[in-house]
Amino acid sequence: MTEQPRFYLISLGCAKNLVDSEGIALLLTQAGYRQAEAPEAADVLLVNTCGFIQPARDESQEVLKDLIAHRHAGQKIVAAGCYSQYRPDELAAAIPGIDGLIGTRRWIDVVTLLEEMEHAPGNKKGPICHPSDVPLAREDTIGYPRLAVQGASAYLKLADGCRRTCAFCAIPLIKGSIVSRPLEEILADAQLAVESGVRELILIAQDTTDYGYDLGPAYNLARVLEELVRAVPQATWLRVMYAYPGRRQITDELIETMARHPQILPYLDLPLQHAHPNVLRRMRRPSNVEEMQRTIAHLQAAMPQIAIRTTFIVGFPGETEQEFQALLNFVEDTAFDRVGVFTYSHEEGTPAAVLPDDVAPEVKEERRRRLMVLQQPISLAKNQALLGQTLDVLIEGVGEDISVGRSYRDAPEVDGMVLVQAESPVGEIVPVRISDALEYDLIGDPVET
Ligand code: SF4
């Protein structure tokens, strides 16, 4: 290695992984590494993999294989993240050139891993695997920001892991149970982000509504929001992602807190996964559909302009056409603002793996398509209802005579955008009058203030 070793890091998967990638980069920088602009300039190539379903594992393998195919002599390759945690042997066998493996629970040991690799005689006996079964403890990350800044937005992690038992999900196997961060650490990260110019804090965890379960009754998401409102300037947007449906999670206190503070965006990402009670029971999810509807009605009554995003899984074991039809009816009746649809992926080790994966792949795909087609006119009508209104838009990019940004209705990556017919300042929140509506996106013009 050179005197100042350099690393190149690729982050795959979700925003939670991105936050871990930022943590890895910080640890390496503190240990004397420099971040390289391109893989060929690095001594160590790291991929923070995603691995909770097969397509994510395939993508992780492709990225690693590509790096190995183009690496030059002396370059070391490390696979970190969820795939390395979940199936280290499979990954090592599929990609013989990997030098080091470190699981998502122990990303904080990355410098130790690199030291071990430095003193190891090549990878002839396979990669060096850092012990990865030890769960991440609350103390492990104290003093380290759990933030990923993307332009004027930052993902802020409230907790790691998940204690739920959703039958289809491998996340609890991969990450372990919930470990909430100390509230003061979250507030310190929020202030750090705002000081660096961030205008939107996006609160994430596997289940944000479970925040504080392991800290005691005084801690919950409503309190995090209340304290964030006090800790950051009023102009900072606060957005809540990954809520769990249920009266004990979407509490009256949480809804009232969201409604009381204008800087908490009237937006909620509420993955419901299905809407037929029998499928929900098989999924080991809350199955009281009437209660789900009451929660949504309560949110809408408290915040009439609220944008609710949800996701569904189609083709879960045993899903009949009649059960799927109930989901279609539910989506039509509820008229969500945003809907994401995934086909069921059978994962070994999950509770659902004992059920037969009996919905044919083409039926899963067809149901996914039917649900998306059903939602499209609903999304369009929701967008058309905004014509003539003025929305605050956080500008994220600018070109000739056009800018692009997001309103409170759009989370980054997963929702739509607002095209602004002017060159507006990147990183600023500007009022925009909506003049045209597409299924996913809006078009508008800046309003002089
Ligand atoms: S709440 Fe989300 S992360 Fe947790 S087990 Fe269920 S689907 Fe997985």
Mean pLDDT of 96-106: 92
pLDDT category at 122 given cuts 50, 70, 90 is low
Instruction: For the chain, give the mean pLDDT.
Output: 94
Ligand 1: distance of its center to the CA of 428 in Å?
Answer: 34
Mean pLDDT of 260-287: 97
Ligand 1, atom 3, lies closest to the CA of 206
Q: How many CB atoms lie within 10 A of CB 287?
A: 17
Q: Which one-letter DSSP state was computed for residue 144? A: S
**What pLDDT score does 124 carry?**
57
Q: Does the pLDDT of residue 135 top 80, yes or no?
A: no
Mean pLDDT of 421-435: 97
Is residue 174 in contact with ligand 1, taking CB distance under 6 Å?
no
Q: Beta strand 442-446 with 200-204: parallel, antiparallel or unpaired?
A: unpaired
Ligand 1: distance of its center to the CA of 164 in Å?
Answer: 6
Q: In 3D, which of 256, 197, 202 has the Cα closest to residue 226?
A: 256
Mean pLDDT of 142-146: 91
For residue 430, the cross-strand partners are 393
**What pLDDT score does 1 carry?**
47
Assess contact for 93 and 61: CB atoms under 8 A: no
Contacts of 159 (CB under 8 A, 6+ apart): 178, 179, 180, 181, 205, 206, 207, 208, 210, 211
Ligand 1: distance of its center to the CA of 86 in Å?
Answer: 15
Ligand 1: distance of its center to the CA of 169 in Å?
Answer: 6
Assess contact for 4 and 16: CB atoms under 8 A: no
Contacts of 84 (CB under 8 A, 6+ apart): 49, 51, 91, 101, 102, 103, 104, 132
Is residue 243 in contact with ligand 1, taking CB distance under 6 Å?
no
Q: Does the pLDDT of residue 46 top 60, yes or no?
A: yes
pLDDT category at 246 given cuts 50, 70, 90 is confident
Q: Does the pLDDT of residue 3 top 90, yes or no?
A: no
Q: In 3D, which of 357, 330, 325 has the Cα closest to residue 343?
A: 357
Is residue 415 in contact with ligand 1, taking CB distance under 6 Å?
no
Q: How many CB atoms lie within 10 A of CB 219?
A: 16
**What pLDDT score does 336 carry?**
97
Is residue 171 in contact with ligand 1, taking CB distance under 6 Å?
yes
Q: In 3D, which of 275, 391, 285, 281 has the Cα closest to residue 334?
A: 275
**What pLDDT score does 126 carry?**
72
**What pLDDT score does 120 carry?**
74
How many angstroms separate the CA atoms of 157 and 243, rounded?
Answer: 13
Q: Does the pLDDT of residue 374 top 60, yes or no?
A: yes
Of 158, 166, 174, 210, the residue with max ligand 1 atoms within 8 A of its CB, to mutate for a pocket test, comes to 166
Is residue 286 in contact with ligand 1, taking CB distance under 6 Å?
no
Report the predicted TM-score, pTM, of the whole model to 2 decimal places: 0.94
How many angstroms separate the CA atoms of 418 and 395, rounded?
Answer: 9
- Which of 87-101, 119-133, 137-151 is least confident? 119-133
Q: Does the pLDDT of residue 2 top 60, yes or no?
A: no
Mean pLDDT of 281-305: 96
Mean pLDDT of 334-341: 96
For residue 264, the cross-strand partners are 238
Which structural domains are found in the chain, ordered by start?
Answer: 6-129 (3.40.50.12160), 138-384 (3.80.30.20), 390-446 (2.40.50.140)
